[in-house]
């Protein structure tokens, strides 16, 4: 058994649900041993090789770093050594500054030039451990430990400026770009991960990080983009994992737009089928997939049909292993509509999805899953959500629970917002400032 540390995306619950689905789709048994709002500690009954880890990381939309645990410390020790308020306890700090994990990560540093970084992830935004001081002081202490143990050179990188787009992100961790730029994953270099949980602190070493440069290139260089309707590639990857598709499978996106989800799928070697009512969007998706094939220098198995999602069973002449989609979410509002308008839009969308689901189910393999987003409209008279009963009526489909009960080891959480509820059927995916927010659901034949 090996214990892995997954640094979670901003939507931590969705990241965990996706992670479980992604690993289980690959036949890997997982147990979530512990988690915070920023990290999941996952026990896996096998050791994953570098290739599998890289493939899993590429497939994930949420978690963006994978590491392995080296040591577990008591939270109380770390809290006393680096409290956010009040004075620290010297005995505890001295103990921590011995950095016992250095000997495990670098058993033979003699004569080597070592560059490293320390990235710490809090329990939540309210964590009362001073991670900023901890990363700086521990980095310096580790440098000295390495030099004392015979390293020729030891240098570290500290986190860069906080991200303007994501001020909630803890400014105590290195970005994947920084890690790649300085080759911190190539031994003897290393990134040390610190995950603060309720009662324990996990110390580990990063094995793989998400290639954000590649993502940026794909987003910016692809020929056809319509930002108004485009779905983020991250959420697309999450939907693909929740739909249970992987290399060699065929996935359908019946509201494919310009094909963001299909491109993410094609990159993973998944065969892609797309349908869209708008001829420009359908043509855009074709152009994007052709471009991707040229960029990758390989043949992509794709087909895009201009048509109505309610007629999937007539348009598509084959069955698919999974369906993943961000459907048409209604009008693009710049201001909140009134409640009646929101309710009547929701009714229309429910009808559209219900008819589309009745058609989709006919091309879906027996054990196939449908992962999709549902609109959540912020009206002037409150939030309007879609009722799943009329959505699923007459489809023979049922809604799945997103966090399987047997996968989560119950861990005491003092903060009730941190409890992972296995009965959850929808997970919100919020985008700041948008009138139409989304919930993610997974449905299937049960
Ligand atoms: C939210 S967008 C999908 C965006 C897509 N995931 C992307 O990133 O490009 C919804 C799409 O549904 C299409 N659409 C609307 N009604 C449809 C229908 N009845 N059948 C198929 N497509 C439809 C729209 O043309 C639009 O491209």
Query: For 67-110, what is each residue's pLDDT tens digit?
Result: 999 999 999 999 999 999 999 999 999 999 999 999 999 999 99
What does the pLDDT average to over 231-253? 96
- The H or E element containing residue 55 is helix 50-59
Whether residue 153 sits in one domain with residue 80: yes
Any ligand 1 atom below 6 A from CB of 309:
yes
Tell me, yes or no, whether 205 and 229 share the same domain: no
308 pocket-lining for ligand 1 (C-beta < 6 Å): yes
**Relative orientation angle of helices 233-242 and 12-25, to the nearest 10 degrees:** 50
389 found inside a domain: yes
Same domain, yes or no, for 165 and 245?
A: no
Of 157, 182, 210, the residue that ends a domain is: 210
> Is 171 a residue whose pLDDT tops 90?
no
Closest-CA residue, ligand 1 atom 25, reads 278
Q: Among 222, 239, 257, which is best to mutate for testing ligand 1, by the most ligand atoms less than 8 A from CB? A: 257
Residue bearing the bigger pLDDT, 67 or 432: 67
- Domain assignment present for 320: yes
Q: Are 70 and 207 in contact (CB under 8 A)?
A: no
d(CA 273, CA 259): 10
pLDDT in tens, 268-289: 999 999 999 999 999 999 999 9
pLDDT over 90 at 226, yes or no: no
- Which residue among 210, 239, 263 closes a domain? 210
- Kindly state whether residues 234 and 205 are assigned to the same domain: no
Ligand 1 close to Cβ of residue 375 (< 6 A): no
Q: Could you tell me if residue 384 is inside a domain?
A: yes
Residue 165 has pLDDT above 60, yes or no: no
Give residue 285's domain range.
224-444
Residue 65 has pLDDT above 70, yes or no: yes
| pTM metric for this prediction | 0.95
**Total count of domains within the chain:** 2
For residue 167, what is the domain's CATH number? 3.30.2130.30
Statement to judge: residues 196 and 326 lie in one domain? no
- Lowest pLDDT segment from 200-204, 206-210, 421-425: 421-425
What average pLDDT score do residues 176-190 get? 93
Query: How far apart are the C-alpha atoms of 89 and 91, rounded to whole Å?
Result: 6
Considering the chain, what percentage of its residues have pLDDT values greater than 70? Answer: 94
Between residues 231 and 326, the one the model is more confident about: 326
| Position 6 in a domain | yes
Question: Domain for residue 216, yes or no?
Answer: no
- Residue 398 in domain: yes
Q: How far is the CA of 227 from the centre of ligand 1 (A)?
A: 13
CA of 15 to the centre of ligand 1 (A): 25
- Model confidence at 167, pLDDT cuts 50, 70, 90, reads low
pLDDT of 379 higher than 90 = yes
CA of 265 to the centre of ligand 1 (A): 17
């Amino acid at each position: 058994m090996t214990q892995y540390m997954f640094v979670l995306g901003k939507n931590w619950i969705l990241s965990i649900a996706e992670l479980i689905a992604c690993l289980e789709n690959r036949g890997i048994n997982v147990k979530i041993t512990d988690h915070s709002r920023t990290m999941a500690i996952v026990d896996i009954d096998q050791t994953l090789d570098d290739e599998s880890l890289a493939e899993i990381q590429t497939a994930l939309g949420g978690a963006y770093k994978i590491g392995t645990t080296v040591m577990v410390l008591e939270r109380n020790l770390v809290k006393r050594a680096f409290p956010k308020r009040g004075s620290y306890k010297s005995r505890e700090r001295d103990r921590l500054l011995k950095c016992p994990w250095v000997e495990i990560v670098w058993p033979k540093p003699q004569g080597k030039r070592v560059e490293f970084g320390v990235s710490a992830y809090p329990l939540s935004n309210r964590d009362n451990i001073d991670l900023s001081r901890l990363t700086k002081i521990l980095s310096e202490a580790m440098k000295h430990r390495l030099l004392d143990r015979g390293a020729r050179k030891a240098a570290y990188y500290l986190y860069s400026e906080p991200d303007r787009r994501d001020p909630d992100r803890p400014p105590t961790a290195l970005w994947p770009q920084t890690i790649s730029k300085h080759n911190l994953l190539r031994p003897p270099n290393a990134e040390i991960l610190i995950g603060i949980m309720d009662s324990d602190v996990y110390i580990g070493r990063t094995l793989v990080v998400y290639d954000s440069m590649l993502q940026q290139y794909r987003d910016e260089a692809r020929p056809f983009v319509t930002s108004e309707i485009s779905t983020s590639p991250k959420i697309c990857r999450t939907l693909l994992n929740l739909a249970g598709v992987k290399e060699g499978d065929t996935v359908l996106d019946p509201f494919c737009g310009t094909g963001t989800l299909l491109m993410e799928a094609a990159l993973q070697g998944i065969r892609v089928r797309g349908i869209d009512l708008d001829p420009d969007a359908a043509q855009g998706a074709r152009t994007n997939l052709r471009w991707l094939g040229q960029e990758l220098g390989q043949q992509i198995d794709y087909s895009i049909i201009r048509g109505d999602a309610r007629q999937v069973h007539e348009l598509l002449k084959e069955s698919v292993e999974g369906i993943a989609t961000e459907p048409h979410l209604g009008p693009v509002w710049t201001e909140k509509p009134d409640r009646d308008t929101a309710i009547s839009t929701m009714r229309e969308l429910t009808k559209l999805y219900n008819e589309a689901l009745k058609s989709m189910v006919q091309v879906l393999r027996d054990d196939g899953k449908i992962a999709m987003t549902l609109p959540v409209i912020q009206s002037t008279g409150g939030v309007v959500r879609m009722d799943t009963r009329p959505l699923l009526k007459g489809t023979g489909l049922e809604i799945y629970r997103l966090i399987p009960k047997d996968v989560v080891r119950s861990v005491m959480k003092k903060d009730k917002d941190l409890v992972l509820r296995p009965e959850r059927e929808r997970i919100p995916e919020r985008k700041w400032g948008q009138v139409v927010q989304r919930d993610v659901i997974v449905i299937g034949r049960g």
